[in-house]
């Protein structure tokens, strides 16, 4: 059925095994890594695809649902499942209409005690262009990119076939003593490498450059943010009593339901002040902030708001995707529709020079 699909592009800056000081990977680049991931998950049970060390509790457990290659095998589509916490095999929920201080928490039992509660995330990898894209159909704050990056690092380090391990260790608890491009080659000795997978938003020319160029014409700066949600640096209203350019990134003092705030200041920021806003905005979006969070400016003689988010490498296209019997989008239909709309997606997200046009 026709649904809005949102795609956001990132540059793959690092992927593979590096020596100290290296700018280029010695081996394990993105296409090879994805081919090995596709081969590794083939025939496995879902629970066997969790790759982080057993003792690591710094990230939500992530599993690989599917890996599809396109017809030319140069691009990959990956679906992952991010686990969410449960209590005694039950998932908590609340009614948004309940009054604060009288909210009733409901426990919803899983159908099977072995079920893994969570949600799917989808990725489109373009190795020849060193890019990846998050592909979202459902509205969700997390697109899973940070979990995917960590997943790829752990997969490369422990399961991709580059590792040399001590004998007698189990697959899940094995101890890696080094890596080499082909650990089964007797002439290759395992060495110590740094495993890396990092990506960043693809820069799109247009909006920010225009705002920088017209900085002296700015008469108002607008900030949209959320108050009350403790999610790695959400400002409080107290923070906004200081000058706009001096606003830091602080956690809210409580965990109330987030409230959306739009704050305006009649100022013309200096060059350093404007750059500080841009850098803070970029940092927030790199860390997966909500779509509401943004900066905008209004120029003298105008009433139109020019938002920073117009420079994001993103596109939204209506696609005819299919859902399974449990209403989850099927990766195959998502892949087919993305490839069918590939040119439009790339043009909208990466080559839109008129980003200050009417929204």
Give the model's pLDDT for residue 355. Answer: 37
Residue 331 lies in a domain: no
Q: pLDDT per residue over 172-183, tens digit each?
A: 677 788 888 876
Average pLDDT, the chain: 80
Whether 295 and 171 map to the same domain: the answer is no
Q: What is the pLDDT of residue 354?
A: 38
Q: How many structural domains does the chain have? A: 2
Are 141 and 32 within one domain?
A: yes
53 in the same domain as 13 = yes
Is there a single domain that holds both residue 211 and residue 287? yes
In whole angstroms, give the CA distance from residue 87 to residue 264: 43
Is residue 321 one of the residues assigned to a domain?
no
CB 156 within 8 A of CB 30: no
Containing domain of residue 156, as a range? 2-85+116-201
* Residue 53 shares a structural domain with residue 177: yes
> Which residues of the chain, if any, have pLDDT below 50?
229-256, 352-359
Same domain, 127 and 28: yes
Instruction: Report the pLDDT value the prediction gives residue 168, as an integer from 0 to 100.
Output: 59
Assigned domain for 94 exists: no
Domain-embedded: residue 347? no
Residue 180 counted as domain residue: yes
If asked whether residues 187 and 226 sit together in one domain, one would say no
**pLDDT of res. 73:** 66
Looking at the structure, tell me whether residues 147 and 262 fall in a common domain. Answer: no
Domain membership flag for residue 353: no
191 and 220 belong to one structural domain: no
In this structure, the answer to whether residues 189 and 289 fall within a common structural domain is: no
**3-state secondary structure string, the chain?**
CEEEEEEEEEEEEEEEEECCCCCCCCECCHHHHHHHHHHHHCCCCHHHHCCCCCCCCCCCCEEEEEEEECCCCCCEEEEEEEECCCCCCEEEEECCCCCCCCCCEEEEECCCCCCCCEEEEEEEEEHHHCEEEEEECCCCCCCCHHHHHHHHHHHHHHCCCCEEECCCCCCCCCCEEEECCCCCCCCCCCECCEEEEEEEECCCCCHHHHHHHCHHHEEEEEEEEEECCCCCCCCCHHHHHCCHHHCCCCCCCCCCCCEEEEEEECCCCCHHHHHHHHHHHHHHHHCCCCCCCEEEEEECCCCCCEEHHHHCCEEEEEEECCECCCCCECHHHHHHHHHHCHHHHHHHHHCCCCCCCCC
Residue ending a domain, among 147, 175, 201, is: 201
Q: Are residues 182 and 248 in the same domain?
A: no
Please identify, among 145, 178, 201, the residue that sits at the C-terminal boundary of a domain: 201
Q: Tens digits of per-residue pLDDT, 188-219?
A: 788 899 999 999 878 776 778 888 889 999 99
**Co-location of 38 and 127 in the same domain:** yes
């Amino acid at each position: 059925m026709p649904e809005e699909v949102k795609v956001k592009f990132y540059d793959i800056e690092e992927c593979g095994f590096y020596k100290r000081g290296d700018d280029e990977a010695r081996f394990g680049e993105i296409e090879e890594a994805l081919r090995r991931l596709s081969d590794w998950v083939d025939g496995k049970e879902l629970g066997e695809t969790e790759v982080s060390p057993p003792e690591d509790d710094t990230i939500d457990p992530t599993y690989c649902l599917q890996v599809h290659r396109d017809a030319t095998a140069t691009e990959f589509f990956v679906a992952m499942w991010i686990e969410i916490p449960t209590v005694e095999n039950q998932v908590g929920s609340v009614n948004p209409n309940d009054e604060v201080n009288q909210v009733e928490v409901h426990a919803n039992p899983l159908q099977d005690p072995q079920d893994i509660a969570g949600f799917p995330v989808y990725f489109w990898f373009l190795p020849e262009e060193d890019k990846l894209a998050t592909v979202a159909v459902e509205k969700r704050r997390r697109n899973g990119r940070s979990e995917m990056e960590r997943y790829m690092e752990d997969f490369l380090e422990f399961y991709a076939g580059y590792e040399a391990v001590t004998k007698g260790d189990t697959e899940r608890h094995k101890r890696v003593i080094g890596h080499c491009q082909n650990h089964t080659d007797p002439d290759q000795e395992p060495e110590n490498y740094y495993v890396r997978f990092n990506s960043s938003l693809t820069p799109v020319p247009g909006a920010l450059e225009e705002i920088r160029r017209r900085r002296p014409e700015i008469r108002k700066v607008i900030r949209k943010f959320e108050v009350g949600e403790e999610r790695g640096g959400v400002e409080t209203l107290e923070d906004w009593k200081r000058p706009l350019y001096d606003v830091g990134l602080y956690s809210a003092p409580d965990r109330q339901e987030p409230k959306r705030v739009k704050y305006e200041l009649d100022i013309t920021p200096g060059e350093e002040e404007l750059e500080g806003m841009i850098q803070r905005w970029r940092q927030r979006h790199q860390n997966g902030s909500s779509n509401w969070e943004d900066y905008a400016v209004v120029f003298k003689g105008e009433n139109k708001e020019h938002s920073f988010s117009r420079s994001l490498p993103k596109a939204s296209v209506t696609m005819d995707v299919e859902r399974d019997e449990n209403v989850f989008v099927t990766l195959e239909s998502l892949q087919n529709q993305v490839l069918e709309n590939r040119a439009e997606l790339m043009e909208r997200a990466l080559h839109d020079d008129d980003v200050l046009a009417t929204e």
